[in-house]
Amino acid sequence: MLKLGVNIDHVATLREARYRGRERGEPDPIAAARECEAAGAHGITVHLREDRRHIQDRDVWMLREIVRTRLNLEMANAPEIVEIALRLKPDIICLVPERRQEITTEGGLDVVAAERAIAETRRRMNDAGIEVSLFIAPDPEQVAAAARTGAQFIELHTGAYAEHFDDAARREAELDRLVRAARQAHELGLKVNAGHGLNYLNLPALHRVPHLVELNIGHSIVSRAVFVGLAQAVKEMLALMESYRG
């Protein structure tokens, strides 16, 4: 069964637009996490950025208390965030690249260039009982480097696939890259997640990618929730995932 991790960052984005710097505000990411789980989500994903643009420290600590499925903390390999993760003990972390000027995470982690540092963080997390995923482009060198770090998972960056979905030739090329990367990762003993830019239109074609364990989807679900409510948006996404056979 293909699992769904719902990224609730943009629930916090909406809250921060009105209540930044305040102890309380709406919409509440904690309430959103509860509703997503009740609707059938298999996990909750949040990105604690160094600039705290959406998710705040108090959010992750409250989420650790209430999440009953699987808490996935996306994070940069930055000393402050690493120490928070080691104290927080999410079920899994996903190391991602992070640039202050970007709107959302752009591109995959360059594991080849930072293999030693990533391997050390991986070791510290695993020693604390936390699984590790690396958010990478579907590139064979990055997949191989991810395996060498000892990470348990990779999360394939589906942004290029999503961006070129309306161009048949480019869509096929990007799907082929994802298929080959997933097969390579599986052969190397890595579990495979995927995410970035996935929505209700482009998700079905992604079923061609083998060995997927979990999809992490946020913006599309939060956007759909404006019209149908969060629980219904989650259920609609889960329905599109039911036919995946891996």
pLDDT digits (tens, 9 = 90+) for 176-221: 999 999 999 999 999 999 999 999 999 999 999 999 999 999 999 9
Residue 105 pLDDT? 52
- Active site includes 47? yes
pLDDT band for position 73 (cuts 50, 70, 90): very high
Domain 3-241 top-level CATH class: alpha beta
Residue 186 annotated as catalytic? no
Catalytic residue among 10, 54, 157, 196: 196
pLDDT at residue 147, rounded to an integer: 98
Q: Write down the pLDDT at residue 99.
A: 65
The active-site residue out of 35, 74, 98, 155 is 74
* Statement: residue 107 has pLDDT above 80: no
Q: Predicted confidence band at 101 (pLDDT cuts at 50, 70, 90)?
A: low
- Reported as a single tens digit per residue, the pLDDT across 168-186 is 999 999 999 999 999 999 9
Catalytic residue status for 74: yes
Kindly name the residue from 47, 98, 174, 214 that is annotated as catalytic: 47
Q: Where are the domains of the chain?
A: 3-241
CB neighbour list of residue 206: distance below 8 Å, 6 or more residues apart:
158, 161, 175, 178, 194, 198, 212, 215
